[in-house]
């Protein structure tokens, strides 16, 4: 019963958050100086009126608000581009989101597995070479922005070997490009660095904390073998809180991907976003923001509920 | 009753009556309460532990150094002839240069003068057009005067019986290419820079996109245009020459560097420790000036969001009840909003500029302060020493300043310092999106954005400024971590 109440509460909050996001986006886009049609070429009055009617710009503001609200949330229609005639935001999302999601999933997989491995090793062999390396990676990965790593990798892994060492451009990593499996490598490594950093750091401190706990002492005292102790008692309990940082990790990966897609020439949502900003294509900016933000909010909701189901203490709060 | 276990030997009655055994202890009074060591308060303790952390001290020194250079540096920038700030002054003859301590430069007139193309007056236009096998390139192909980055003038002896000449240019950059290759192999001649359709013309000046760091091989061929078929035939061989360019400086700029500079003199040019960008601006100067805006934002934004968060949190915590619940729900909702997307959105809506950057960066960063400070206010309101103080009749202000504020300050400093590197990162991020400040204003982000545009050709332009950004971020981050440890009483004595 309590769980159900908890889930409903979170759901309600997520809906309110989505509405807030939409409202903020709507009014921010309306606050842009000039109207959306102003920056296109000089258009005759007649065409202008037609366009305004078509995009619903001639209606009063509150009507536009509710029109757009129902269009997005009831019909799932994010509207059309003001710049490229006939280009639907839904099509942009349909074509480019899978690309972003693919890179994101690959980097989360790399990041989570490497991070868990590094965190466990760093905690078990404290002050070893691996531990020091892991701690350096953590500080760098958390404090430095991912676009720095993107440029570092692009130069050292692709540009330098190709231009200075004479590697074969047909088989070696390309500085920018999309369409082949090898093009996944650099962006995913770049994006996974931050994930590795946050997971390693969290897991290491959790492992150490669990190591001091009474139940580990008890297990040790009762003669459990070291391997069993570490795997069944320490790691199992230390990994649990990792779930709580899945959402921050997703936000991190997604926001990092905004620029990284530009650097590596990946035709994902991040690049679509960047292009729409450069073109001042407000409808696309708005649609992508609501979609992207909505995606993150729903991910947050899932993380919350998942954590509430697994750890009963959370529900009480 | 006697107890052998307690004393080794039994006291006799005489000994027991000895008065000396029972001399009263002299009264010590206040002296007993005296502390034998100096008092170490909360702040002093934090300071001591911070100064023991060597990495943190080094980080602090680095930050202070960067900030000092940013404030003081621009006062020592060289003057420019047209009065634009040095970091914005463009030198289109000196673009995309690597780091240099100052190359020799030739002083020229303020506007470089090129001679008009010369024509051979005695040229015989009546001669019949040559056949393809007979075509020869013009002879005596040579550079006229000094080849500078402003232009390379070359001359040749015209060939009789041709329709005109074509001039090619190729860059010698690391590739093994010689004049011989260009003479015999048409594929090596590179870019065609000019077609001269007057066979009597004997000179040509090339002035487009010359880079002083490069060596150029120019080559000239003669061509014949068949009047009937409009078919073009080019001489098989070419004449070629290699030109290395002299960097020039206008007289006005030279005099800003060296007061008695004369036209024709070679002086030492500006030092560009980080090289120059695509507009010939000094990258280090742009970074130094950029420090001002970056640090201004990094100090202002956390302070503003702290003030908002403090007021919000205090109101929420002190009012309690329904108000508290509603205010905290609002914070919760704002926290789940994707901050970065809204940052971009606000910046799009408000337009580029420092002011809109401040608003955009402050808009969502105060929620963290509000949440934590509300919790602290709730905690401190019920804590015993505050109750005791109130019981003793302390006025409200005294409670706030003696008990509440010092306890909040530690947390505030920790949160405030942790926000600084995030602001610097956000500025760089927005600039890379093209949403930072207006051109030509310099910030760290705009320097990186300019360099990112042709990163693959000139990686140093990106990596040198980026290393400063990275070092500063790491320093702020380590310092923030060290402050958090220093202000955490639970960690006392662990180091």
Highest mean pLDDT among A19-33, B155-169, B303-317, B379-393: B303-317
Q: What tens digit of pLDDT does each residue of B371-425 get?
A: 999 998 888 888 888 889 889 988 888 888 888 888 888 889 999 999 999 999 9
Does the CA dihedral A197-A243-A302-B337 come out positive or negative? Answer: negative
Mutation for testing the B interface, residue in A145, A160, A272 having most B CBs under 10 Å: A145
Please tell me which of the candidates A139, A147, A159 has its beta carbon nearest to residue B474.
A139
C-alpha atoms less than 13 angstroms from C-alpha of B491 in its C-beta half-sphere: 13
Q: Do A261 and A271 meet the contact criterion of CB atoms below 8 Å apart?
A: yes
Work out the minimum CA distance from B491 to partner chain A, whole angstroms.
Answer: 15
Residue B352: its chain A contacts at CB < 8 A? none
Residue B2 has pLDDT above 50, yes or no: no
Q: Which three-class secondary structure state does DSSP give residue B265?
A: coil
| Domains of chain B with bracketed CATH | 132-249 (2.60.40.10), 283-491 (1.10.3720.10)
Residues 309-338 of B with CB under 8 A from A: 329, 332-334, 336-338
Nearest to A16 among B333, B338, B477 (CB): B333
**CA A186/CA B142 separation, integer angstroms:** 49
SS3 of A90, please?
A: helix
State the DSSP code for B282: B
- Identify the top-confidence range among B15-29, B73-87, B172-186: B73-87
In chain A, the residue whose alpha carbon lies closest to the alpha carbon of B448 is A148
For A293, the closest chain B residue by CA position comes to: B338
Beta-carbon-side half-sphere exposure of residue A282 (alpha carbons within 13 Å): 22
Half-sphere exposure (CA, 13 Å, Cβ side) for B315? Answer: 10
For residues B185-203, give the mean pLDDT.
85
Q: Higher-confidence residue: B87 or B255?
A: B87
Whether the CB-CB separation of B250 and B108 falls below 8 Å is answered with yes
Rounded to the nearest 10°, the torsion over CA B388, B390, B391, B392 is: 90
pLDDT(B148) > 80: yes
Q: Please name the member of B348, B421, B434 whose beta carbon is closest to the beta carbon of A285.
A: B348
Neighbours of B357 (CB within 10 A): 29
Question: What is the reported pLDDT for B495?
Answer: 45
How many Cβ atoms sit within 10 Å of the Cβ of residue B144? 15
* Interface probe, candidates A146, A173, A293, chain B, greatest B C-beta count within 10 A: A293
Predicted model pTM: 0.82
Q: What mean pLDDT value characterizes chain B?
A: 85
Q: Which pLDDT band, with edges at 50, 70 and 90, does B366 fall under?
A: very high
Contact B338 A297 (CB under 8 A): yes
pLDDT the model gives residue A315: 62
Q: Supply the DSSP symbol for B32.
A: G
Nearest alpha-carbon partner for B444 in B419, B464, B418, B469? B469
Chain A: give the shortest CA distance to residue B305, in Å.
19
- Asked if B445 reaches chain A (Cβ–Cβ under 8 Å), the answer is no
Q: How confident is the model at residue B306 (pLDDT cuts 50, 70, 90)?
A: very high
Q: Does B456 touch chain A (CB under 8 A)?
A: yes
- pLDDT by residue (tens digit) across B48-82? 888 888 999 999 999 999 999 999 999 988 877 77
Supply A199's token pair: 């997971």
Task: Report the residue of chain A nearest B430, measured CA to CA.
Answer: A259
Q: Which of A35, A148, A165, A292 should we substitute to test contact with B (largest number of B Cβ atoms within 10 Å)?
A: A148
What's residue B1's pLDDT? Answer: 45
Indicate the helix (H) or strand (E) that contains A107. helix A89-124
Minimal CA–CA distance to B89: which of B277, B290, B269? B277
Total beta-carbon pairs less than 8 A apart between chain A and chain B: 109
Subunit contact B473:A263, Cβ cutoff 8 A: no
B453 — contact with chain A (CB < 8 Å)? no
Chain B residues inside the 8 Å CB shell of A292: 338, 341
What per-residue confidence (pLDDT) applies to B112? 67
Closest-CA residue to A92 (of A263, A300, A274): A274
For residue A151, give the nearest of B429, B433, B462 by CB distance: B462
User: How close is the nearest chain A Cα to the Cα of B5, in Å?
Assistant: 41
Residue B358, pLDDT > 50, answer: yes
Distance CA B30, CA B25 (A): 15
Evaluate if residue B115 carries a pLDDT over 60: yes
Report whether A107 contacts A276 (CB < 8 A): no
Q: Give the CB-side neighbour count of residue B372, counting CA atoms within 13 A.
A: 19
- For residue B252, give the nearest of B114, B111, B148 by alpha carbon: B111
Chain A CB contacts of B450 under 8 Å are none
Interface contact flag, A13 B462, Cβ < 8 Å: no
Q: What are phi and psi of B105, to 5 degrees?
A: -130, 145
Say if residue A40 is preceded by a cis peptide, omega within 30 of 0. Answer: no
What dihedral angle (degrees, nearest 10) is formed by the CA atoms of B320, B323, B324, B325? 120
Which of B345, B351, B432 faces A147 most closely, judged by CB atoms? B432
Q: Shortest CB distance from A274 goes to which of B341, B421, B433?
A: B433
Quick one: which of B288, B291, B286, B289 has its CA closest to B276? B286
CA distance A168 to A164: 11
Q: How far is CA A47 from CA A42, A157, A262, A279, B167, in A?
A: 10, 51, 35, 21, 51
Which of B346, B351, B425 is the closest to A145 by Cβ?
A: B425
Q: Which residues of A touch B477 (CB under 8 A)?
A: 139, 142-143
H or E element that contains B191: strand B191-196
Q: Do B341 and A292 touch (CB under 8 A)?
A: yes
Q: If contacts are CB pairs under 8 Å, which of residues 343-382 in chain B contact chain A?
A: 344-346, 348-351
Q: Do B340 and A280 touch (CB under 8 A)?
A: no
- Tens-binned pLDDT, residue by residue, of chain A (317 aa): 778 888 888 889 889 988 999 999 888 888 776 666 655 566 777 877 887 777 777 788 888 888 888 888 888 888 888 777 778 888 888 888 888 888 888 999 999 999 999 999 999 898 899 999 999 999 999 889 889 999 999 999 988 888 888 888 888 888 888 888 888 899 999 999 989 999 999 999 988 888 888 988 899 899 888 888 888 888 888 887 887 787 778 777 776 688 888 888 888 888 888 888 877 777 888 888 888 888 888 888 888 888 777 776 666 54
The reported pLDDT for the residue numbered A164 is 80
According to the model, what pLDDT value does residue B398 have? 86
Q: Among B20-24, B229-233, B296-300, which is the least confidently predicted range? A: B20-24
Q: What is the gyration radius of the CA atoms in chain A, in angstroms?
A: 24
Does B473 contact A at CB distance below 8 Å?
yes
Contacts of B351 in chain A (CB under 8 A): 33
Q: In sequence order, which residues have a C-beta less than 8 Å from that of residue B12 and are 6 or more positions away?
A: none
Q: How far is CA B57 from the centre of its chain?
A: 23
DSSP A239-292: HGGGGGGHHHHHHHHHHHHHHHHHHHT--SHHHHHHHHHHTT-HHHHHHHHHHH
With contacts defined as CB-CB under 8 Å, which chain A residues touch B342?
Answer: 21, 24-25, 28, 289, 293
């Amino acid at each position: 019963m309590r769980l159900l109440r908890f889930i409903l509460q979170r759901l309600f909050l997520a809906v309110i958050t989505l509405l807030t996001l939409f409202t903020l986006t709507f009014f921010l886009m309306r606050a842009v100086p000039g109207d959306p049609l102003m920056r296109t070429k000089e258009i005759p009055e007649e065409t202008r009126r037609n366009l305004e009617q078509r995009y619903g710009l001639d209606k009063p503001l509150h009507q536009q608000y509710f029109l757009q609200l129902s269009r997005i949330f009831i019909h799932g229609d994010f509207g059309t581009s003001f710049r490229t005639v006939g280009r639907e935001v839904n099509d942009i999302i349909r074509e480019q989101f899978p690309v972003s999601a693919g890179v994101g999933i690959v980097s989360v997989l790399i990041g989570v597995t490497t991070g868990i491995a590094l965190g466990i090793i760093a905690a078990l062999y404290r002050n070893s070479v691996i531990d020091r390396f892991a701690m350096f990676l953590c500080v760098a990965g958390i404090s430095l922005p991912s676009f720095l790593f993107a440029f570092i990798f692009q130069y050292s892994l692709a540009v330098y070997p190709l231009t200075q060492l004479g590697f074969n451009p047909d088989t070696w990593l390309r500085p920018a490009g999309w369409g082949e499996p090898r093009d996944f490598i650099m962006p995913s490594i770049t994006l996974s660095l931050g994930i590795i950093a946050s997971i390693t750091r969290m897991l290491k401190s959790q492992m150490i904390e669990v190591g001091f706990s009474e139940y580990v002492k008890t297990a040790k005292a009762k003669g459990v073998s070291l391997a069993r102790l570490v795997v069944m008692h320490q790691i199992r309990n230390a990994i649990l809180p990792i779930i709580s940082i899945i959402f921050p990790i997703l936000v991190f990966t997604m926001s990092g991907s905004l620029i990284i897609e530009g650097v590596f020439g990946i035709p994902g949502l991040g690049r679509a976003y960047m292009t729409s900003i450069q073109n001042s294509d407000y409808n696309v900016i708005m649609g992508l923001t609501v979609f992207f933000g909505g995606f993150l909010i729903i991910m947050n909701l899932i993380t919350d509920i998942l954590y509430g189901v697994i750890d009963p203490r959370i529900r009480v709060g | 009753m006697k107890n052998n276990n307690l004393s080794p030997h039994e006291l006799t009655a005489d000994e027991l009556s000895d008065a000396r055994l029972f001399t009263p202890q002299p009264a010590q009074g206040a002296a007993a309460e005296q502390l034998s060591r100096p008092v170490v308060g909360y702040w002093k303790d934090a300071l001591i532990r911070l100064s023991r952390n060597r990495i943190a001290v080094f980080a602090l020194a680095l930050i202070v150094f960067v900030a000092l250079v940013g404030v003081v540096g621009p006062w020592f920038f060289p003057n420019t002839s047209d009065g634009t700030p040095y970091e914005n002054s463009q030198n289109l003859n000196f673009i995309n240069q690597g780091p240099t301590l100052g190359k020799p430069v030739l002083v020229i007139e303020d506007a470089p003068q090129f001679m008009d193309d010369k024509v051979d007056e005695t040229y015989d236009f009546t001669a019949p057009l040559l056949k393809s096998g007979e075509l020869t390139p013009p002879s005596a192909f040579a550079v006229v005067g000094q080849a500078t980055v402003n232009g390379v003038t070359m001359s040749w002896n015209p060939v009789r019986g041709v329709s005109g000449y074509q001039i090619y240019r190729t860059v010698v950059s690391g590739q093994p290419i010689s004049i011989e290759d260009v003479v015999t192999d048409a594929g090596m001649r590179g870019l065609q820079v000019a077609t001269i359709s007057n066979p009597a013309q004997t000179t040509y000046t090339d002035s487009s996109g010359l880079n002083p760091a490069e060596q150029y091989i120019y080559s000239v061929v003669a061509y014949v245009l068949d009047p009937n078929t409009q078919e073009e035939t080019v001489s098989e061989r070419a004449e070629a020459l290699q030109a290395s360019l002299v960097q020039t400086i206008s007289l006005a700029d030279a005099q800003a560097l060296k007061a008695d500079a004369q036209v024709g003199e070679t002086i030492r040019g500006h030092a560009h420790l980080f090289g120059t960008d695509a507009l010939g601006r000094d990258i280090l100067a742009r970074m130094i000036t950029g420090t001002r805006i970056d640090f201004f934002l990094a100090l202002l934004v956390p302070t503003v969001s702290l003030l908002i968060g403090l007021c919000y949190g205090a109101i929420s915590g002190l009012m309690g009840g329904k108000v508290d619940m509603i205010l905290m729900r609002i914070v919760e909702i704002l926290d789940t909003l994707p901050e970065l997307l809204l940052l971009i959105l606000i910046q799009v809506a408000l337009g580029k500029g420092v002011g809109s950057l401040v608003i955009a960066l402050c808009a969502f960063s105060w929620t963290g302060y509000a949440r934590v400070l509300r919790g602290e206010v709730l905690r401190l309101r019920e804590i015993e020493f505050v109750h005791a103080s109130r019981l003793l009749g302390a006025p409200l202000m005294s409670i706030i300043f003696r008990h509440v504020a010092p306890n909040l300050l530690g947390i505030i400093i920790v949160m405030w310092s942790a926000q600084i590197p995030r602001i610097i990162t956000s500025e760089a991020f927005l600039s890379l999106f093209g949403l930072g400040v207006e051109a030509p204003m310099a910030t760290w982000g705009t320097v990186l954005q300019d360099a990112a545009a042709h990163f693959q050709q000139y990686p140093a332009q990106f990596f040198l400024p980026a290393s400063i950004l990275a070092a500063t971020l790491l320093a702020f981050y380590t310092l923030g971590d060290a402050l958090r440890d220093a202000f955490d009483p639970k960690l006392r004595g662990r180091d």
